[in-house]
Amino acid sequence: MKINFIDLQAQYLAYKSEIDSEVLEVFSSAMFIGGEKLNRLEKSLAEFTGAKHAIGCSSGTDALLLALMALDIGVGDEVITTPFTFIATAEVIALLGATSVFVDIEEDTYNIDPSKIEGVITSKTKAIIPVSLYGQCADMDAINEIAAKHNIVVIEDSCQSFGASYKGKKSCNLSTIACTSFFPSKPLGAYGDGGAIFTSDDALATKIRMLLNHGQNERYKHKYIGINGRLDAVQAAILNVKLKHFDSEVQAREEIGARYSHLLEDADVITPKIQEGNTSVYAQYSIRVKNREAMVAKLTAKEIPTAVHYPVPLHLQEAFASLGYKVGDFPISELVATEIMSLPMSPYLTSQQQDFIADAIKGN
């Protein structure tokens, strides 16, 4: 049985005529940067999330970088985040000369543990970046409460959770700034790199728009040192089409995720726990197993693709050796990193494919 880890081809074929038409309009207009397609996307993204401003940019990584730049975070500052995430979250902190301060995760959600945040706040702490991992939001109310008490800013890293909700509010509208990614494999993916930044703060939105365009406040007049962080019109056109269909895809993802968990109830694995009040877009459907290598080999033998997100926590990466962390500092992150593995997941995964995967996991 042919199973794709993420079935991007099926998605393209489903929307092919719409996508082709939108992209050809960009080619015909020769408006490749900015323009109507991007303006329409930003308006739709803001309406979808409820945030006042949605600002398209070149990637999820650049979205995080721009958020930190807009807050003037740099040398001597500390930013609290999780060691169990993709490197981009902490990478951008380091690029600006600031210091990542890691906090361990909750064992059931794999998101940052709010109860451990306050213990590492210092006079140098300028922001907290909780990551809404695998498609589920972190406990944003608890995190925002701690941040408000200490007068620090929260940046939601929602690169995996666009479309998810937390207590009735959409991810990307849960903190001062939020950042998401439109990398092709994301729940809402472009056909190349792309991202967006969300805020309801007018001043921050204005500054971010300048920063992503080389710090310009008007052509050839530069108020800030910025970057080339623009989202191109071709990607905006593709995202406009996909966003129209996104609600139905989110529903399909939720149903497929719930069905996976039901099918695997009697398997010797740990399935995702979705907290009460949360929904997940299942950017990945990730299970935990005691002998991951054996399980991967068993599924590979049946041509079932798998992936591991993430096998080495950030505090144990060579790139962050200067922070001085060691094995044992974040035991839950280290445990989960040895057990986690992701199964095929997309809105186009069929029941027959799910049954086949579940049977293979259970050894049938």
Which has the closest alpha carbon to 178: 151, 203, 205? 205
Cα dist from 312 to 93, 209, 275, 277, whole Å? 19, 35, 25, 30
Residue 310 and residue 299 in one domain = yes
Residue 233 and residue 313 in one domain = no
Q: Kindly state the DSSP code that residue 87 receives in the 8-state scheme.
A: T
Cα dist from 287 to 113, 239, 264, 267, whole Å? 19, 29, 10, 11
For helices 246-263 and 351-361, give the axis angle rounded to 10 degrees: 30
Place of tokens 């995430």: 85
Inside any domain, residue 1:
no
Which has the closest alpha carbon to 65: 101, 97, 43? 97
Which residues neighbour 132 within 8 Å (Cβ) at sequence distance 6 or greater? 111, 138, 156, 157, 158, 160, 161, 164, 171
- Structural domain harbouring 90: 8-103+110-244
What CA–CA distance (Å, rounded) separates 171 from 49?
7
Indicate the residue among 197, 218, 244 that finishes a domain. Answer: 244
Inside any domain, residue 159:
yes
Residue 139 and residue 168 in one domain = yes
Inside any domain, residue 176:
yes
Number of residues that this document lists for the chain: 364
Residue 180 and residue 51 in one domain = yes
Residue 210 and residue 316 in one domain = no
Indicate the residue among 227, 244, 261 that finishes a domain. Answer: 244
Inside any domain, residue 322:
yes
What CA–CA distance (Å, rounded) separates 10 from 3?
11
pLDDT value at position 364? 65
CATH number of the CATH domain containing 356: 3.90.1150.10
Residue 153 and residue 22 in one domain = yes
Domain tally for the chain?
2
Q: What is the mean pLDDT of the chain?
A: 98
Place of tokens 């080339």: 228
Residue 125 and residue 31 in one domain = yes
Residue 271 and residue 333 in one domain = yes
Q: Each residue's pLDDT tens digit in the chain (364 positions)?
A: 899 999 999 999 999 999 999 999 999 999 999 999 999 999 999 999 999 999 999 999 999 999 999 999 999 999 999 999 999 999 999 999 999 999 999 999 999 999 999 999 999 999 999 999 999 999 999 999 999 999 999 999 999 999 999 999 999 999 999 999 999 999 999 999 999 999 999 999 999 999 999 999 999 999 999 999 999 999 999 999 999 999 999 999 999 999 999 999 999 999 999 999 999 999 999 999 999 999 999 999 999 999 999 999 999 999 999 999 999 999 999 999 999 999 999 999 999 999 999 999 998 6
CATH number of the CATH domain containing 37: 3.40.640.10
Which residues neighbour 81 within 8 Å (Cβ) at sequence distance 6 or greater? 89, 90, 93, 100, 101, 102, 103, 112, 128, 129, 130, 131, 157
pTM value is 0.97
Inside any domain, residue 3:
no
Which residues neighbour 302 within 8 Å (Cβ) at sequence distance 6 or greater? 356, 360
